[in-house]
Structure 1
Amino acid sequence: MPEMPEVEIIRRILEPQIAGKKIETVEILHNQIIAHPDMETFTEILTGQTITNMSRKGKFLTIHFKSGDNLALHLRMTGRLLVMPKDTPVEKHTHLLIYLEGGNQLRYIDVRRFGRFWYLKKDETDDLTGQDKLGLEPLDEKLTSTYLKEKLGKKKKSIKDMLHDQSIIAGIGNIYSDEILYAAGIYPETKCTAMDDEEWDRLAKKIPEIIAWGIDTNEMKPEEYLEGKGKEYRNIPHLRVYGRADQPCLVCQAVIEKISLGGRSSCYCPECQRKKL
Structure 2
Amino acid sequence: MPELPEVETVRRTLEELIIGKTIDQVLVHWPKMVKEPDDVVRFTKALEGETFKAVARRGKFLILYTDDLALVSHLRMEGRYGVYPKSETIEKHTHVIFSFTDGTELRYKDVRKFGTMHLFKRGDELGQLPLSQLGVEPLSDAFSPKILQNLLNKTARPIKAALLDQKLIVGLGNIYVDESLFKAGIHPERSAKTLTKEEVEKLYSEIKATLSEAVERGGSTIRSYVNSQGQIGLFQLELFVYGRRGEECKVCATPLERIIAGGRGTVYCPQCQPK
How high is the TM-score relative to the length of structure 1? 0.92
Matched residue, 2:188: 188
Q: Which amino acid aligns with 2:100?
A: L
Q: Conserved in 1, the CA contact under 8 Å of 2:80 and 2:110?
A: yes
Query: Are residues 1:140 and 2:108 paired?
Result: no
- Residue 236 of structure 1 deviates from its aligned partner by 1.7
State the distance in 2 between where 1:24 and 1:142 align: 39
Match of 1:29 in 2: 29
The verdict on how the C-alpha distance between 1:109 and 1:259 changes in structure 2, with shifts beyond 3 A counting, is same
Letter in 2 for 1:42: F
Aligned position for 2:129? 129
Task: Please tell me whether the aligned partners of residues 134 and 167 of structure 1 are also in contact (alpha carbons under 8 angstroms).
Answer: yes
TM-score, normalization by structure 2 = 0.92
Partner of 1:52: 53
Mean Cα deviation higher: 170-179 or 72-81:
72-81
- Residue in structure 2 matched with residue 43 of structure 1 by the alignment: 44
After TM superposition, the structure 1 stretch with the greater mean CA deviation from structure 2, 6-15 or 190-199, is 190-199
Instruction: Letter of the 1:41 partner, please give it.
Output: R
Q: Which amino acid aligns with 2:202?
A: R
**Residues 196 and 49 of structure 1, relative CA distance in 2, 3 Å threshold:** same
Q: 1:195 to 1:219 in 2, by over 3 A?
A: closer
Give the distance between the partners of 2:86 and 2:213, measured in 1 at CA: 35
- Cα shift at 1:125: 5.8
Query: In 2, Cα distance between the equivalents of 1:226 and 1:203?
Result: 31
Q: How does 1:203-218 map to 2 (within 5 A)?
A: 203-218=203-218
Aligned ranges 1:62-141 → 2 under 5 Å: 62-66=63-67, 68-122=68-122, 124=124, 126-141=126-141
Determine if contact 1:120/1:126 at 8 Å carries over to the other structure: no
Task: Give the 3 Å change call, closer, same or farther, for CA 270–151 of structure 1 in structure 2.
Answer: same
- AA aligned to 1:3 is E
**Residue-by-residue CA offset, 1:150-207 (whole Å, 9 max, x unaligned):** 1111311100111011111110001000011011111111111221121111111111
Query: Within 2, Cα distance between the matches of 1:126 and 1:213?
Result: 27
Q: What residue ranges of structure 1 are gaps of 5+ in the alignment?
A: none
Any idea what SS the aligned residue of 2:203 has? helix
Q: Which amino acid aligns with 1:182?
A: F
1: CA distance between counterparts of 2:93 and 2:53? 28
Aligned positions, number: 269
Letter in 1 for 2:153: G
Identity of aligned residues (%): 39
Moved more, 42-51 or 81-90: 81-90
- Give the 3 Å change call, closer, same or farther, for CA 226–268 of structure 1 in structure 2: same
Q: How does 1:107-256 map to 2 (within 5 A)?
A: 107-122=107-122, 124=124, 126-218=126-218, 225=227, 228=230, 232-256=232-256
Q: Deviations over 1:51-107 (max 9, x none)?
A: 1111111111111112x2111111111211111222222122111011012221111
Equivalent-residue separation in structure 1 for 2:46 and 2:228 (angstroms): 28
Distance 1:142 1:115 in 2: 28
